[in-house]
Structures are given as C-alpha cells and as structure tokens.
C-alpha cells in the first residue's frame, strides 16, 4: 500500500513514541535513509507518494527499530568529529564524549615531530582515523582483539583516505616486537558486568566485548595501565577514557604504576571522563 511522506512519518513517530525520546527525528532519519535524500527533502515534499519499494523498506526498518535496534545500526552510519563513519553491530556506536579523548590526544602530540602512537581497542576506527586526518605526520598502530572490528576500521580508513596499520591483539600481547610509543590512547570497555545500565536503551544491541571487561569494570584499564611502561618511551603519555565514577580508582592505578603529571578531564556534562599520565624521563 502506498503512502505519502507526511503520513508515513506520523505513523512511524507514533510507533516510536514509547521507545525513543526522539521519535520524530528517528522517523525522519529512517525515511530519509530509505529515500536516499537529505532530511530537508521530507519537508519540501510532504505530499509525495512513497514508491512501494521504499515504503516496504521503511516498514522493515521501523519494525527493527522497535526491537529496539539502535538507529545508528539501521542507518549504517554515525557522525564523529564531523566525519561520517560506517557502523555495524560488531563495534560500539561512537559516542560524542569520546571527542574529548581525541582533542586531548591531539593537544599532547601538537609539539611532537612524527610521534609514534598506539591506539588500543579501535572498534570502528574513529579515534585513529581522526588522529590521522588531523595530524597526518603521526606514525600510528591501531589494535583490537576483534578481527571484525579491524575490518570495519580498515573500511572506514579507506572511506576517509588514510592508511591504518592494524594489528589483532589482546591489549599488548601482539606488540612485544614493536619499538616504543610516545603516546598510548584507548577507549576500553569499562562498564561493570552487573551494571543495570547494560540492559537499558540501545546497549543490549551493542557488542558486550566493547562494553564490559568483567565484574568490576576496571579489568581492561588495569591491564592497559600495567602494560604501558613497557611500551611507552621515556616521557610518553598514556591517555584513556573511563566511567564517570572511576576517576579515583584510575588515579590510584596510574600513581602506583609510576606515572606522573596525572590529570583527569571533564566531559561536556562536567563528568570525569578521561585520565592521562606521563612516564618519567
């Protein structure tokens, strides 16, 4: 059955009201995606009849959204640092707060000549790709334990015309033969396994490997901090994202591992989100 743009949107918005705080926006983004047009097209042509094939695809996506499947997985794309990245259920959906990690990393390497950077747990590849776009002279190695994530990151790198040196590795395990790094950056999994947040909203659809490292939520961070001194050059920095309630534990870990100049940075919601430390010279 064919339908006009405006009434299809009203119908989908009504479906999404109970599962989304942005029901109208979700409906518009999905329909624009099916039509392969910008959202503004929906407002310019509200009375246009949808072709049957488009209408069928829209109905399928609305049904998937109601499961609920995250919007980003249905749109197969998400913006990060003003760039569009290909998304798939093998990887975490990029979060806006991770831009703080990228901004701080760029500040740390601003004065360095061809710094060697290691990114661990790359997922979609957003952090490494933005770093390479913003500072093309860096010498960067990017890792993930998931082969599927590395394939997705490589696809995103191709889309953004940068070349990624990818390695499949369980944190530092496959990196023993590599020379030291000036900077190690990571957005590791950090949600405790029993955190009720894991069963809310879109999170059940995202890979558990990307969200939780175990019982306390600190297991990955502990490994990353403990292994950093063997892989950083003297004076090198370790910088990583963590949960808003993990700043104290993270500071203690960095201190006992011998890091200096430890800093904790607040995200846009004024929550402690990124910590960094420097290895002494």
Ligand X SMILES: C[S@@+](CC[C@H](N)C(=O)[O-])C[C@H]1O[C@@H](n2cnc3c(N)ncnc32)[C@H](O)[C@@H]1O
227 scored as a contact of ligand X (CB under 6 A)? no
Q: 46 CB contacts (<8 Å, ≥6 apart)?
A: 4, 5, 6
- Annotate 215-237 with DSSP letters as a single string: SSS-HHHHHHHHHHHHHEEEEEE
**Min. distance of Cβ 80 from ligand X in angstroms?**
8
Using CB under 6 A as the binding rule, whether residue 91 contacts ligand X is answered as yes
How many residues bind ligand X, per CB under 6 A?
Answer: 24
Per CB under 6 A, the segment of 27-35, 39-47, 186-194, 231-239 that binds ligand X is: 186-194
DSSP per-residue string spanning 56-125: HHHHHHHHHHTTTPPHHHHHTEEEETTEEEE--TTSPPP-TTHHHHHHHHHHHTTT-SS-EEEEE--TTS
Q: Does 92 bind ligand X (CB under 6 A)?
A: yes
Is residue 105 at the binding interface for ligand X, with CB under 6 A as the rule? no
Given the rule CB under 6 A, which of 34-42, 81-89, 105-113, 144-152 is the region that contacts ligand X? 144-152
For residue 174, what are the CA distances in angstroms to 143, 168, 170, 220? 9, 7, 7, 16
16 versus 227: smaller Cβ distance to ligand X? 227
List beta partners, residue 4.
49
Q: Kindly state whether residue 127 participates in binding ligand X, applying the rule CB under 6 A.
A: yes
Residue 217 interacts with ligand X (CB under 6 A): yes or no: no
Contact pick of 70, 115, 189, 227 for ligand X (by CB under 6 A):
189
Question: Between 34 and 91, whose beta carbon lies closer to ligand X?
Answer: 91
């Amino acid at each position: 059955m064919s339908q006009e743009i405006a009434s299809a949107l009203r119908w989908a918005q009504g479906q999404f009201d109970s599962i989304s705080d942005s029901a109208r926006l979700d409906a518009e983004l999905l329909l624009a995606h099916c039509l392969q047009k910008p959202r503004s097209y929906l407002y310019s042509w509200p009375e246009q009849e949808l072709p049957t094939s488009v209408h069928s695809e829209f109905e399928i996506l609305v049904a998937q959204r109601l499961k609920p499947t995250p919007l980003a997985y249905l749109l197969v794309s998400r913006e990060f640092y003003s760039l569009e990245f290909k998304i798939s259920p093998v990887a975490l959906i990029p979060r806006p707060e991770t831009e703080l990690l990228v901004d701080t990393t760029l500040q740390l390497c601003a004065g360095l000549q061809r710094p060697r950077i290691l990114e661990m747990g790359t997922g979609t590849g957003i952090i490494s790709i933005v770093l390479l776009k913003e500072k093309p002279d860096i010498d960067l190695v990017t890792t993930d334990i998931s082969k599927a994530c590395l394939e997705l990151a490589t696809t995103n790198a191709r889309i953004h015309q940068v070349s990624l040196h990818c390695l499949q590795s369980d944190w530092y395990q496959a990196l023993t033969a590599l020379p030291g790094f000036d900077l190690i950056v990571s957005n590791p999994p950090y949600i405790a396994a029993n955190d009720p947040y894991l069963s809310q909203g879109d999170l059940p659809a995202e890979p558990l490997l990307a969200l939780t490292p175990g019982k306390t939520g600190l297991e990955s961070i502990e490994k990353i901090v403990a292994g950093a001194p063997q892989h950083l050059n003297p004076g090198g920095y370790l910088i990583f994202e963590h949960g808003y309630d993990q700043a104290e534990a993270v500071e203690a870990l960095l201190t006992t591992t011998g890091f200096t100049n430890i800093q904790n940075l607040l995200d846009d919601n004024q929550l402690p989100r990124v910590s960094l430390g420097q290895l002494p010279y």
